[in-house]
Amino acid sequence: MNGIRKYLGLILALFVVLAMAAWPMIDGKDITREVVFTMLLSVALASSLNILLGYTGYVSFGHVVFFGLGGYVGFYLMAVQDWSLWSAMLAGGLASAVLAFLLGKAILRLRGGYFALATIGINEAVRAFINNFDLFGGPVGMSLNFQVYQNYGGGAREALWMSFYVLIALTLLTVTLSYFVRSSKFGLGLLAIREDEDAAEVMGVIAPNAKTWAYVLSAVFPGILGVLFFFKNGNIEPAPAFRLHLSIEMIVMVMLGGQGTVLGPILGGAGYQRLRGFLLTNPLFKNIQLAVAGVLLLVIVLFVPAGVVGWVRQRFPKLRRVLQ
């Protein structure tokens, strides 16, 4: 009984993800699966970013670089070197982790706005480089041979369902990672860095190492997810892979749900995508969906900076045990 109580926050978070995942399995429609695919992808990306943004307090504006780079490395291995999806995903995650490790040592020295600017610069530099990199297809990118999908369940439709199941597993893993980082001693060190980096160092947190590892952990899953996303997509190009806008959307999701909480990015990612889908299909808001989303973001930033989960935690302290 005590064990369950201890992990109540994790169980609730995983339950929310599973409830979303169950929806297309119950109604069996392709369209529902696509909707939930986007939601789960956002949940996983936002939860990854949250490790750096929410726990450590470093604003990465170019986090999509890990999604794009992992995607590119994995896609190259699948399309040109005939690797399987599984080994390509591992390689993509590894590539992102290595990039984060190398970058982390250098740019995590910068604080506040300077760090945010550097991450934008890195994303743009990598995108411009890939645009010129002939091995990865330059500006036209690469495509998968349609035959590839036959190895994953028999046809394109089966491969899409399989991608969906893989995404569920990856999302559950990301959320679990996010939970254990937060509840570990390492995570406590990160929270201390967020509150006051100099004080944290005085208290014995080795900030440069802790920050670098937080950066690496927040980069691994975006890399793996990039491979899965572009595998399902069938082709990869520089512009969609390194879309700065996606980076910022990830931040919005984390903020919406509540930065620094485990449940926040889950609700934020899913809620943001639901809202976006609603605005895009609603005849009244169809043309101005971006502007409506902007107004909403402004209202949240100005009046509910702690996000939904953060606000509930402040208002109802008793729920803090469950809403982590």
Partner 1 sequence: MDFLFASIVDGLLLGFVYGIAAMGLTLIWGVMNVINLAHGPIIALGMFGVYLIFTMLGLNPYIGIVLVAVLGLLLGMLIYYVAVHRVINAPHLSTLLATFSINMIIIGLGTAVFSASPRNVDFSLGSITLGPITLLGSRVVAAIASMLITGGLYAFLYKTRQGRYIRAVANNRDAAELMGVPSTQILALSFGLGTMLAAVAGALIATFFPFTILAGGVYELKSFVIGVLGGLGNPVGALFGGLILGVLEGIIPTFMPTTWVPVLEFVLFVLILLVRPQGIFGAKK
Q: Which residues bind partner 1 (CB under 8 A)?
A: 53, 57, 59, 61, 106-107, 109-110, 112-114, 116-118, 120-122, 124-125, 128-129, 131-132, 139, 248, 251-252, 255, 259, 287-295, 297-298, 301-302, 305
The rounded distance, in Å, linking the Cα atoms of 128 and 142 is 16
Least Cβ distance, residue 294 to partner 1 (angstroms): 3
Cβ-based nearer residue to partner 1, 103 or 217: 103
The rounded distance, in Å, linking the Cα atoms of 54 and 29 is 35
Q: How far is CA 293 from CA 12, 51, 157, 283, in A?
A: 28, 24, 33, 15
Cβ-based nearer residue to partner 1, 61 or 164: 61
Least Cβ distance, residue 5 to partner 1 (angstroms): 33
The rounded distance, in Å, linking the Cα atoms of 224 and 301 is 30
Cβ-based nearer residue to partner 1, 8 or 301: 301
Tell how strand 235-236 and strand 142-143 pair up. antiparallel
Q: Are 15 and 182 in contact (CB under 8 A)?
A: no
Cβ-based nearer residue to partner 1, 304 or 322: 304
Surface-to-core class of residue 134, CB atoms within 10 Å of its CB (0-12 exposed, 13-18 middle, 19+ buried):
exposed
Least Cβ distance, residue 113 to partner 1 (angstroms): 5
- The residues, any chain, with a CB within 8 Å of residue 154's CB and separated by 6 or more, are none
Least Cβ distance, residue 108 to partner 1 (angstroms): 11
Cβ-based nearer residue to partner 1, 61 or 230: 61
In a 13 Å sphere around the CA of 114, the CA atoms on its Cβ side amount to 6
Least Cβ distance, residue 323 to partner 1 (angstroms): 21
Least Cβ distance, residue 140 to partner 1 (angstroms): 12
User: Which amino acid, 252?
Assistant: V
Radius of gyration (C-alpha) of the chain in whole angstroms: 19
Cβ-based nearer residue to partner 1, 49 or 170: 49
